């Protein structure tokens, strides 16, 4: 498809949609369209050619059918909080905004299920389930505003996915509109529907396989007991060693988070969270489950932290103190704004055992390049969120920060990790995919894309840098290239 | 040139015997590639010559699904059975697809780690070796402890695949948290070997609990609903919540707890006291102190699996269904199944169960039972699949009769057409005759 095709496509598409959809859902005004030019990754901006504020699954199907007819690309967007540019619009395409699909259809505690529309905010599900003693386990930091549809697209995680897993483990069924405009249900409200696990493949596909219009979610029983503790250490080395020792002891905490000195400094400046003074690292551990088990585990964690030379150990005794401990951690990203005018939030993963070495190497890169890096990370699963600090007004600083940010990803790959643990590949990291995967790996993933979206209209340019055209096979196998086989013995 | 000679250039090959037939469909040769590269060469040649390939680990579940339309080559994974890596501090392991689950358990036990999957085919297959890792993934093996650790598809964090055209590809990786690229591991989990050959799998491990206890209750039928509702709504975080329901008998409900030393016993005692309340299970409650392996073998109603007591033994080749329902619908599902002579076993905490009918049941009665259970599960948000059955039953069913309604079948056809356009891999074995 060429750009010319798409540009001529939009007017025809718009004319068609005017006949099918109410006027108020079509946003054509350039200034209004500009407000949708970026998602949570503001470094990239593209004004979409058309914005549709869909109000039903039928609207989504109408838009996608029209897009297919006119060969116009489309991008779906929920709350627009994604950090990898997954909802970055296409200049010649339609932006399908699902945030008006906000109906929370039902909460059925006895079945541990909730049925919601994609624009429903993540936290709203937990709030609705809470009176019944349940919650929705995936808890990305943006959970007060991010949408379930976005969680589905990105396979969102959060601090507690160490124990409870990612969004993919909490979605039982999805109603989706495929890029040809068909409405299809993937999965059933019970587990293990017959057939290929297309649901599992769809979750985390970053909007490249279609648009989800309704989700049946798994609700998780609130734990009987939650205990949160905080340990201060001289450096991230000791904090990391404590993390490893906790895992080695057979404990699976609900969350295990580490902040380094620079991140602590930022958090203190922003919210005065009262973390141990002079600590080179803090480790936050949250344990949950049956009260009898949690008490025993807490004692073990306390002992391990002491053995790893914790300078301080405190345990929250009530919900308010627990919130206090989390306040510093949760404010860390925004807090970095207090100590640096600009920063890049990176998201990479390394095997947990490689953490100390990776942190040291990161420190060397940071010193070499003269770029400060604050570290906040989900230590339990090796998911790093380095914050690369810079001042865009300083000449060359942006370039240096981007270079350091990229070097951190290379470090993750070199240690057998991943270029993204929860923010997604999106527009931001597509160029790194060939560093993590071989061409054959990417081509094989593309086969799934071709089954859903042969024309490449769904969120093109995301995840995969230069996808092969569908139908184009690099290695067609011909019998003529193979040893000859004589007749009947074979067939 | 014979197939054997043709394929001998790619890997070890031998002529197939009667025992190598796949669900009654004879094969010509058995090929045993020792690497992804050999698998690639083998599949490339098979594709070029239109040979149909069925993957086999120990063959313990090879009768599951539909009989393939044709089989030329049985691809045995036994020469790809090595433990590639057990990264203790990371709680992940990578092994060849041919790795037996029983051996993997043994290899991980030293670190007190485990892959939390229950082998429901213990003692079956060649050398009575039970499931291999690849076979477990290909059939999405699901057992009691799934309540604790999630389905196998969530424990698979990386795969190495060989496509029918010989392409060797990898997806996922060896870190648990990873959202880079499509999750092809989930796509091939439960695909019955019809999309690609899995040669290597990386899995997430869990620490073994220090102590495990089981609470068993014999529940009168009328009280099954309140007992299950009570357990589901509790905050016990049980590792298993299984039931075993035979026609005309009280239902055995088993709750498995795992945790710290001492605390687990105390929790089990508390639970037993709770369940003994009038209106719940009454007096028929017992706390068991099993060898920890009993936790995974509490429900051995899959044919041939080593049963714990003779009265649970299912002779011959019974009709085996997987049945699912929303949690609150399980008592109704159990009742319908029992009324039609089926024994029901499985996770009442997850909503994934199995139902069996003994082999001597006349075919029309089997079909009637399947239809009745399917109607029930469909109404309860779930599904019914005829996983295995005697040949007479299987031949009386078409793909729709075997698999029931399949949401998204048309998309699945398109996926199959992309991954295996020549239908080289187990043609006809899966949904919709794929």
**What are the DSSP calls for B188-232, one per residue?**
HTTSTTSS-EEEEEEEE-EEPPSEEEEEEEEE-GGGHHHHHHHHH
- Which parts of B280-405 are beta strand (E)? 285-288, 319-324, 343-347, 352-357, 384-388
End position of a domain, from candidates B295, B327, B358: B295
Residue B403 CA to residue A190 CA, distance in Å, equals: 15
Pair B73, B90 in one domain = no
B187 touching A (Cβ < 8 Å) = yes
Query: Cβ(A267)–Cβ(A329) under 8 Å?
Result: yes
Query: Cβ(A29)–Cβ(A48) under 8 Å?
Result: no
Asked if residue B121 is part of any domain, the answer here is: yes
Query: Cβ(B329)–Cβ(B340) under 8 Å?
Result: no
**What are the DSSP calls for A75-107, one per residue?**
EEESSS--SS-TT---TTSEEEE-TT---EEEE
Of B174, B179, B263, the CB nearest to A424: B179
End position of a domain, from candidates B263, B295, B327: B295
Q: Is B309 helix (H, G, I), strand (E, B) or coil?
A: coil
Give the CA-trace dihedral at A54, A56, A57, A61, to 10 degrees: -50
Pair B105, B180 in one domain = yes
| Cα→Cα distances A291→A223, A294, B229, B236, B266, Å | 9, 5, 21, 9, 11
Contacts B263 to A, Cβ<8 Å: 290, 292-293, 295-296
Pair B180, B88 in one domain = yes
Contacts B180 to A, Cβ<8 Å: 418-420, 425, 429, 433, 436-437
Residue B18 CA to residue B292 CA, distance in Å, equals: 38
Domain containing B49 — which CATH number? 3.30.43.10
Of A197, A419, A452, the CB nearest to B186: A197
Contacts B173 to A, Cβ<8 Å: 416-418, 436
Beta-carbon pairs below 8 A across chains A and B: 321
pLDDT (tens digit per residue) in A17-29:
999 999 999 999 9
pLDDT (tens digit per residue) in B159-170:
999 999 999 999
A452 touching B (Cβ < 8 Å) = yes
Pair B202, B218 in one domain = no
The reported pLDDT for the residue numbered A490 is 34
Query: Cβ(B172)–Cβ(B154) under 8 Å?
Result: no
Terminal C-alpha separation, chain A? 42
B192 touching A (Cβ < 8 Å) = no
Q: Report the domain count for chain B.
A: 4
Instruction: Kindly determine whether residue A244 and residue B179, on different chains, have CB atoms separated by under 8 Å.
Output: no
Length of chain A: 491
Instruction: Kindly determine whether residue A112 and residue B232, on different chains, have CB atoms separated by under 8 Å.
Output: yes
Pair B68, B87 in one domain = no
Residue A127 CA to residue B235 CA, distance in Å, equals: 19
Quote the domain boundaries for residue B10: 3-78+419-433
Asked if residue B362 is part of any domain, the answer here is: yes
Give long-range contacts, CB 8 A cutoff, 24+ apart: A260-263: A260/A236, A260/A359, A260/A374, A260/A375, A260/A376, A262/A339, A262/A372, A262/A373, A262/A374, A262/A375, A262/A389, A263/A332, A263/A335, A263/A336, A263/A374, A263/A375, A263/A376, A263/A387
Pair B199, B222 in one domain = no
B112 touching A (Cβ < 8 Å) = yes
A332 has a pLDDT exceeding 50: yes
pLDDT (tens digit per residue) in A181-238:
999 999 999 999 999 999 999 999 999 999 999 999 999 999 999 999 999 999 999 9
Rounded to a whole number of angstroms, the distance from the CA of A395 to the nearest CA of chain B is 33
B45 touching A (Cβ < 8 Å) = yes
The interface residues of chain B toward chain A in range 136-175, judged by CB-CB distance below 8 A, are 140, 142, 150-151, 153-154, 161, 163, 165-171, 173-175
ipTM of this complex prediction, to 2 decimal places: 0.94
Instruction: Kindly determine whether residue A477 and residue B140, on different chains, have CB atoms separated by under 8 Å.
Output: no
Of B165, B179, B326, the CB nearest to A155: B179
Pair B64, B90 in one domain = no
Torsion angles phi and psi, residue B240, rounded to 5: -140, 150
By CB neighbour count within 10 A (0-12 exposed, 13-18 middle, 19+ buried), where does B339 fall? middle
Pair B192, B223 in one domain = no
The reported pLDDT for the residue numbered A338 is 87
**Nearest residue of B to residue A413 by CA position?**
B173
End position of a domain, from candidates B295, B328, B359: B295
Residue owning tokens 């013995």: A489
Residue A113 CA to residue A107 CA, distance in Å, equals: 6
Contacts A491 to B, Cβ<8 Å: 50
Quote helix, strand, coil % in chain A, to nearest 5: 40, 20, 40
A478 touching B (Cβ < 8 Å) = yes
B59 touching A (Cβ < 8 Å) = no
Residue A236 CA to residue B343 CA, distance in Å, equals: 55
Rounded to a whole number of angstroms, the distance from the CA of A372 to the nearest CA of chain B is 26
B84 touching A (Cβ < 8 Å) = no
In this prediction, residues B340-366 reach a mean pLDDT of 96
Structure tokens at A57: 């699954």
Rg (CA), chain A: 24
Residue owning tokens 């074995």: B429
The interface residues of chain A toward chain B in range 226-245, judged by CB-CB distance below 8 A, are 244
pLDDT (tens digit per residue) in A27-73:
999 999 999 999 999 999 999 999 999 999 999 999 999 999 999 99
Quick one: which of A404, A450, A460 has its CA closest to A75? A460
Rounded to a whole number of angstroms, the distance from the CA of A423 to the nearest CA of chain B is 8
pLDDT (tens digit per residue) in B102-124:
999 999 999 999 999 999 888 88
Instruction: Kindly determine whether residue A351 and residue B409, on different chains, have CB atoms separated by under 8 Å.
Output: no
Query: Cβ(A449)–Cβ(A209) under 8 Å?
Result: yes
The interface residues of chain B toward chain A in range 337-356, judged by CB-CB distance below 8 A, are 350-352
Asked if residue B406 is part of any domain, the answer here is: no
Length of chain B: 434
Asked if residue B405 is part of any domain, the answer here is: no
Asked if residue B12 is part of any domain, the answer here is: yes
Rounded to a whole number of angstroms, the distance from the CA of A113 to the nearest CA of chain B is 9
Query: Cβ(A354)–Cβ(A382) under 8 Å?
Result: yes
Contacts A158 to B, Cβ<8 Å: none
The reported pLDDT for the residue numbered B312 is 42
Number of Cβ within a 10 Å radius of residue B309: 7
Q: Domains in chain A, ordered, with CATH?
A: 3-97 (3.30.43.10), 104-221 (3.30.465.10), 225-414 (3.40.462.10), 439-491 (no CATH)
Residue A425 CA to residue A467 CA, distance in Å, equals: 14
Rounded to a whole number of angstroms, the distance from the CA of A354 to the nearest CA of chain B is 9
Rounded to a whole number of angstroms, the distance from the CA of A78 to the nearest CA of chain B is 19
Query: Cβ(A160)–Cβ(A208) under 8 Å?
Result: no
Pair B201, B120 in one domain = yes
In this prediction, residues A81-88 reach a mean pLDDT of 96
Pair B91, B177 in one domain = yes
Pair B220, B291 in one domain = yes
B48 touching A (Cβ < 8 Å) = yes
Asked if residue B402 is part of any domain, the answer here is: no
pLDDT (tens digit per residue) in B393-409:
999 999 999 999 999 99
The reported pLDDT for the residue numbered B206 is 96
Rounded to a whole number of angstroms, the distance from the CA of A148 to the nearest CA of chain B is 17
A366 has a pLDDT exceeding 70: yes
Instruction: Kindly determine whether residue A290 and residue B267, on different chains, have CB atoms separated by under 8 Å.
Output: yes
Residue A61 CA to residue A318 CA, distance in Å, equals: 48
Residue A341 CA to residue A377 CA, distance in Å, equals: 21
B37 touching A (Cβ < 8 Å) = no
The reported pLDDT for the residue numbered A393 is 95
Instruction: Kindly determine whether residue A222 and residue B235, on different chains, have CB atoms separated by under 8 Å.
Output: yes
pLDDT (tens digit per residue) in A151-188:
999 999 988 999 999 999 999 999 999 999 999 999 99
Rg (CA), chain B: 22
Pair B139, B184 in one domain = yes
Quick one: which of A195, A189, A194 has its CA closest to A175? A189
Most confident option among A353-357, B141-145, B267-271, B326-330: B326-330
Rounded to a whole number of angstroms, the distance from the CA of A337 to the nearest CA of chain B is 27
B311 has a pLDDT exceeding 60: no
Rounded to a whole number of angstroms, the distance from the CA of A40 to the nearest CA of chain B is 18
Residue A197 CA to residue B184 CA, distance in Å, equals: 10
Buried b / exposed e over B88-120, threshold 16 CB at 10 Å, is bbbbbbbbbbbbbbbbbbeebeebbbbbbbbbb
Helix or strand (DSSP H, E) at A412: helix A397-414
Contacts A352 to B, Cβ<8 Å: 89-90
Contacts B382 to A, Cβ<8 Å: 188-190
B307 has a pLDDT exceeding 50: no
Structure tokens at A176: 């989706």
Q: With bands split at pLDDT 50, 70 and 90, how would you rate the model's confidence at A337? A: confident
Instruction: Kindly determine whether residue B408 and residue A200, on different chains, have CB atoms separated by under 8 Å.
Output: no
Instruction: Kindly determine whether residue B91 and residue A247, on different chains, have CB atoms separated by under 8 Å.
Output: yes
Q: Which residues pair with A296 in a beta bridge?
A: none
Query: Cβ(A114)–Cβ(A97) under 8 Å?
Result: no
B297 has a pLDDT exceeding 80: no
Instruction: Kindly determine whether residue B403 and residue A194, on different chains, have CB atoms separated by under 8 Å.
Output: yes
A418 touching B (Cβ < 8 Å) = yes
């Amino acid at each position: 498809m060429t750009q010319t095709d798409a540009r001529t496509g939009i007017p025809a598409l718009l004319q068609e949609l005017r006949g099918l959809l109410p006027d108020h859902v079509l946003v054509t005004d350039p200034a209004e369209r500009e407000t949708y030019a970026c998602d949570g990754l503001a470094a990239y901006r593209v004004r979409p050619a058309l914005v549709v504020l869909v109000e039903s699954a039928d609207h989504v199907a109408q838009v996608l059918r029209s897009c297919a007819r006119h060969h116009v690309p489309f991008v779906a967007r929920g709350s627009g909080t994604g950090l990898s540019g997954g909802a970055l619009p296409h200049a010649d395409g339609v932006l399908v905004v699902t945030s008006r699909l906000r109906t929370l259809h039902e909460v059925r505690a006895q079945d541990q299920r909730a049925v919601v529309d994609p624009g429903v905010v993540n936290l709203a599900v937990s709030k609705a389930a809470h009176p019944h003693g349940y919650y929705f386990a995936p808890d990305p930091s943006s959970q007060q505003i991010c949408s379930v549809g976005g969680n589905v697209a990105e396979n969102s995680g959060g601090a507690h996915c160490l124990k409870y897993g990612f969004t993919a483990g909490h979605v039982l069924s999805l109603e989706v509109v495929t890029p040809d405009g068909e409405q299809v249900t993937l999965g059933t409200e019970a587990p293990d529907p017959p057939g290929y696990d297309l649901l599992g493949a769809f979750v985390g596909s970053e909007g490249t396989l279609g648009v989800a219009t309704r989700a049946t979610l798994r609700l998780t029983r609130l734990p009987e007991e939650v205990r949160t503790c905080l340990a201060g250490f001289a450096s991230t080395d000791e904090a990391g060693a404590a993390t490893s020792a906790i895992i080695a002891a057979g404990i699976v905490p609900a969350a295990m988070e580490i902040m380094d000195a620079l991140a602590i400094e930022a958090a203190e400046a922003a919210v005065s969270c009262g973390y141990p003074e002079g600590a080179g690292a803090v480790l936050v551990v949250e344990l949950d489950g049956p009260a009898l088990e949690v008490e025993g585990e807490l004692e073990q964690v306390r002992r391990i932290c002491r053995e790893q030379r914790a300078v301080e150990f405190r345990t929250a005794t009530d919900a308010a103190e627990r919130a206090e401990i989390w306040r510093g951690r949760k404010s860390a990203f925004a807090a970095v704004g207090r100590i640096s005018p600009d920063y890049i939030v990176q998201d990479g993963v390394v095997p947990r055992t490689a953490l100390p070495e990776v942190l040291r190497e990161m420190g060397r890169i940071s010193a070499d390049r003269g770029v400060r890096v604050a570290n906040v990370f989900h230590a339990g699963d090796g998911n790093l969120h380095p914050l690369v600090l810079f001042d865009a007004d300083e000449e060359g600083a942006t370039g240096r920060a981007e270079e350091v940010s990229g070097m951190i990803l290379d470090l993750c790959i070199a240690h057998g990790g991943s270029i993204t643990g929860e923010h997604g590949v999106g527009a931001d990291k597509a160029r790194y995919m060939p560093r993590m995967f071989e061409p054959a790996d990417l081509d094989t993933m593309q086969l799934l894309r071709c089954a859903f979206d042969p024309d490449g209209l769904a969120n093109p340019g995301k995840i995969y840098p230069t996808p092969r055209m569908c139908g184009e096979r690099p290695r067609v196998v011909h019998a003529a290239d193979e040893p000859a086989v004589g007749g009947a013995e074979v067939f | 040139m014979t197939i054997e000679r043709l394929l001998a250039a790619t890997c070890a090959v031998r002529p197939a015997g009667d025992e190598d037939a796949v669900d009654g469909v004879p094969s010509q040769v058995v090929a045993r590639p020792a690497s992804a590269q050999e698998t690639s060469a083998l599949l490339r040649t098979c594709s070029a010559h239109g040979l149909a390939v069925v993957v086999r680990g120990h063959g313990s579940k090879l009768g599951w699904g539909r009989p393939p339309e044709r089989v030329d080559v049985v691809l045995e994974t036994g020469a790809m059975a090595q433990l590639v890596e057990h990264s203790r501090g990371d709680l992940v392991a990578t092994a060849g697809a041919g790795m037996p689950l029983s051996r993997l358990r043994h290899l991980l036990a030293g670190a007190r780690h485990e892959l939390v999957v229950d082998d429901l085919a213990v003692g079956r297959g060649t050398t009575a070796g039970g499931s291999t890792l690849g076979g477990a993934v290909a059939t999405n093996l699901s057992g009691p402890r799934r309540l604790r650790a999630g389905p196998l598809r969530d424990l698979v964090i990386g795969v190495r695949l060989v496509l029918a055209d010989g392409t060797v590809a990898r997806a996922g990786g060896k870190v648990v948290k990873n959202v880079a690229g499509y999750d092809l591991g989930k796509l091939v989990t439960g695909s019955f070997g019809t999309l690609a050959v899995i040669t290597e799998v990386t899995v997430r491990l869990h620490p073994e609990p220090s102590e495990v206890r089981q609470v068993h209750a014999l529940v009168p039928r009328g009280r099954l609903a309140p007992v299950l509702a009570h357990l589901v709504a509790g905050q016990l975080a049980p590792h298993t919540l299984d039931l075993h329901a035979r026609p005309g008998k009280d239902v055995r409900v088993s709750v498995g707890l795992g945790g710290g030393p001492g605390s687990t016993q105390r929790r089990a005692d508390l639970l037993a006291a709770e369940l003994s309340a009038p209106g719940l299970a009454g007096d028929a409650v017992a706390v068991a102190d099993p060898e920890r392996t009993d936790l995974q073998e509490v429900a051995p109603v899959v044919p041939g699996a080593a049963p714990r007591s003779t009265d649970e033994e299912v002779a011959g080749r019974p009709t085996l269904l997987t049945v699912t329902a929303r949690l609150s619908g399980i008592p109704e599902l159990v009742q319908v199944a029992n009324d039609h002579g089926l024994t029901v076993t499985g996770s009442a905490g997850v909503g994934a169960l199995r139902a069996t009918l003994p082999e001597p049941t006349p075919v029309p009665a089997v079909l009637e039972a399947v239809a009745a259970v399917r109607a029930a599960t469909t109404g309860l948000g779930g599904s019914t699949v005829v996983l295995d059955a005697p040949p007479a039953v299987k031949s009386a069913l078409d793909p729709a009769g075997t698999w029931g309604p399949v949401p998204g079948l048309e998309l699945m056809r398109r996926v199959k057409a992309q991954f295996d356009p020549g239908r080289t891999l187990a043609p006809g074995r899966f949904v919709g005759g794929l």
